[in-house]
Amino acid sequence: MKSTPYYWPAWILLGLVGLTSLLFGAGTLELRQAFAVLAGQGTEEARFIVLELRLPRLAIGLVTGLALGVAGALLQTLTRNPLAEPGLLGVSAGSAFAVSLAILAGASTATLTTLVSQAGALAGCGLVILATRIQGVGQDPVRLVLAGATLSALLMSLTSLIMLIDQRAADEIRFWITGSIAGKNWEQLTTTLPTLVISGFIVIAVAKPLASLALGERVARGLGHRPGLVQLGVVIAVALLTGSATALAGPLMFVGLVVPFVARALGGADIRKTLWLCLPLGPAMIIAADTLSRLLVAPSEMPLGVITALLGAPVLLVIIRTRRIPTL
């Protein structure tokens, strides 16, 4: 962590982005008022807007960003593919499909979605791993992404099918599927915390073996690690993280791609350094995107998923356009 370049600047960036997100919103609240709230004063309305509308969004952005950034970095190292991203590979789509099924069955977006979403993500992860086992696909980053895109498209069309079957569910699903962290409150955050803590422990446990696994299974075995167990741990962690993030914010594309990409560009390919940098960078991306989503179409708001896709798609193009995709 000390040796990770740009580690502290990344945290400072997150601090600045977080502060900005508290100061700016879709409303007419004056900047001076928002500052006053941060200083512990301000009118009742200003306090409500900053502390009860913007602060929970900041916290949820923090958690989803952390989860998606770390999940992306893990999945990329595991599949040795810089394009492996929960959103692109269908993990998020799996989780979205599961949630849609639950909504169809009568659940409300506010309740019960975390577990369902994580189960869906786990199933999506399983399919990704299966795809990497298919001859040729696992070795070729772009083909893996194509396989993932196919899976995503399939799951998304199944989700659309649910929306067609039940128009009432459609309204709730449509809102949720574009991705947003608006209108969420603390309770929703706390329901995901236990699993986040669990996945945190798993990540700590697998980070070092995963780094040696990157050198090849034989090397990892020689160092006394058990590749199968490590892989299983990573898959579970990715599913828990992506599932939690999706339950909170809907399926957000590209965050798990952009954040580790930037982290590797800054800190080098070692998964441990990447993970350390993902911690501040993931939240910074989501919170910045969320702040933009409030400002672009005020007095309404844009779906967060649209902004992350707008920010992320060019990065995907850059990675693919570089002549040779580095395998991890």
User: Judged by CB under 8 A, which of 167, 218, 321, 323 binds other proteins?
Assistant: 167
Nearer to other proteins, 171 or 193 (CB): 171
Nearer to other proteins, 182 or 220 (CB): 182
Binding segment (CB under 8 A) for other proteins, from list 15-23, 42-50, 96-104, 266-274: 42-50
Using CB under 8 A as the binding rule, whether residue 35 contacts other proteins is answered as no
At which residue do the structure tokens 């005020």 appear? 298
User: Judged by CB under 8 A, which of 16, 43, 171, 317 binds other proteins?
Assistant: 171
DSSP single-letter state for residue 326: P
Using CB under 8 A as the binding rule, whether residue 48 contacts other proteins is answered as yes
Cis before 9? omega within 30:
no
Question: By rule CB under 8 A, what count of residues binds other proteins?
Answer: 32
Using CB under 8 A as the binding rule, whether residue 182 contacts other proteins is answered as yes
Nearer to other proteins, 11 or 48 (CB): 48
Binding segment (CB under 8 A) for other proteins, from list 60-68, 181-189, 205-213, 259-267: 181-189
- Of 118, 150, 121, give the one whose Cα is nearest residue 134: 150
Using CB under 8 A as the binding rule, whether residue 53 contacts other proteins is answered as yes
Least spacing, CB of residue 22 vs other proteins, in Å: 12
CA distance 205 to 229: 11
Least spacing, CB of residue 108 vs other proteins, in Å: 7
DSSP 275-288: HHHHHHHHHHHHHH
Distance from CA of residue 203 to its chain's centroid?
15
Window 275-314: residues binding other proteins (CB under 8 A)? 294, 297-301
Using CB under 8 A as the binding rule, whether residue 30 contacts other proteins is answered as no
Using CB under 8 A as the binding rule, whether residue 245 contacts other proteins is answered as no
**How many other β-carbons are positioned within 10 Å of the β-carbon of residue 113?**
26
DSSP 20-75: HHHH--SS---HHHHHHHHTT---HHHHIIIIIIIHHHHHHHHHHHHHHHHHHHHH
Least spacing, CB of residue 293 vs other proteins, in Å: 10
Using CB under 8 A as the binding rule, whether residue 180 contacts other proteins is answered as yes
CA distance 131 to 144: 7
SS3 208: helix
Binding segment (CB under 8 A) for other proteins, from list 51-59, 193-201, 283-291, 307-315: 51-59
At which residue do the structure tokens 């269908």 appear? 90
Report the interhelical angle of 55-79 vs 271-296 (nearest 10°).
Answer: 140
Interface pattern 200-239 for other proteins (x via CB under 8 A): ----------------------------------------
Least spacing, CB of residue 104 vs other proteins, in Å: 13
CA distance 248 to 195: 13
DSSP single-letter state for residue 81: -
Using CB under 8 A as the binding rule, whether residue 112 contacts other proteins is answered as no
Count Cα neighbours of 106 within 13 Å in the Cβ-side half-sphere: 0
Binding segment (CB under 8 A) for other proteins, from list 130-138, 165-173, 207-215, 305-313: 165-173
Measure the N-to-C terminal CA separation of the chain; round to a whole number of Å.
21
Q: Where along the sequence are the contacts to other proteins (CB under 8 A)?
A: 25-29, 45, 48-49, 52-54, 108-110, 166-168, 170-171, 175-176, 180, 182-185, 294, 297-301
